[in-house]
Amino acid sequence: MALMDQITKVQGQTLDTIADSQKRALDVNEKVADALKDRVPAVKLPFVAVLPSPADGVKLYFDFAGKLLAGNRQFAETLVAAWVTPAPKATAAKVTAQKVTAPKATAEKAIAPKATARKAPARKAAARTARVSTSV
Name the CA dihedral angle for 11, 16, 19, 23, rounded to a multiple of 10 degrees: -160
For 91, residues 6+ apart whose C-beta sits below 8 A from its C-beta are: none
pTM of the model: 0.53
* Cβ atoms of residues 27 and 35 within 8 Å: no
Tens of pLDDT, residue by residue over 50-107, are 999 999 999 999 999 999 999 999 999 999 999 997 767 766 556 555 555 555 555 5
Q: How far apart are alpha carbons 120 and 38 in whole angstroms?
A: 83
Q: Which has the closest alpha carbon to 90: 98, 102, 81, 80?
A: 98
pLDDT in tens, 108-118: 555 555 555 55
Lowest mean pLDDT among 36-40, 59-63, 73-77, 123-127: 123-127
